[in-house]
Amino acid sequence: MTSETHDEQSVLSRWLQATNAESTNPSERRKRARVAVRWPVSMCGTTSDLSVETTTENLSSVGFYCLSPVALEPGVGMTCILKIPAHHPASPGRSAALQCSARVVRVEPPNQDDQYGVGCEISDYRLVDTPEAGS
């Protein structure tokens, strides 16, 4: 296993550890803890040509929340790519990517910037290779 592959898996492992814990807030309806991270995400409809580029607001081991310029429909299946910063000292532009199957479970009305709040539930995911910036 290369050092870069090990670093990417370490990022994924830390994310899973941080978000796999049960939520400790008794008034929280979510089952898993959420982490406030702003990672780029590309979302593509599984049964349509819908494509959305946005950024996560927070995520857990079972889902994420983002703002979308497009009103998505609850229940719609999406294939998503979350770009995870790897923080590799030898390659500062390097990132890892998490490809996941997700389903839109909640859509909030648009905010003052015409962005819809979208909650997605992750059903399956895998780490995929990404080229280094500038390659």
Higher pLDDT, 130 or 9: 130
| pLDDT of amino acid 131 | 59
**133 in a domain, yes or no?**
no
DSSP character for 31?
S
**104 in a domain, yes or no?**
yes
Arithmetic mean of pLDDT, 88-107: 84
**113 in a domain, yes or no?**
yes
**37 in a domain, yes or no?**
yes
How many CA atoms are closer than 13 Å to the CA of 82, on its beta-carbon side? 31
Q: What is the pLDDT of residues 118-130, one digit of tens each?
A: 999 999 999 887 6
> Alpha-carbon distance 45 to 95, whole Å?
24
Give the range of the structural domain holding residue 54, as residue numbers without chain letter: 3-128
Total domains in the fold of the chain: 1
Arithmetic mean of pLDDT, 59-79: 93
**18 in a domain, yes or no?**
yes
**134 in a domain, yes or no?**
no
Going by C-alpha positions, the residue among 83, 87, 98 that lies closest to residue 7 is 87
**50 in a domain, yes or no?**
yes
**112 in a domain, yes or no?**
yes
Arithmetic mean of pLDDT, 51-61: 93
Q: Which CATH number is 22's domain given?
A: 2.40.10.220
Arithmetic mean of pLDDT, 102-111: 96
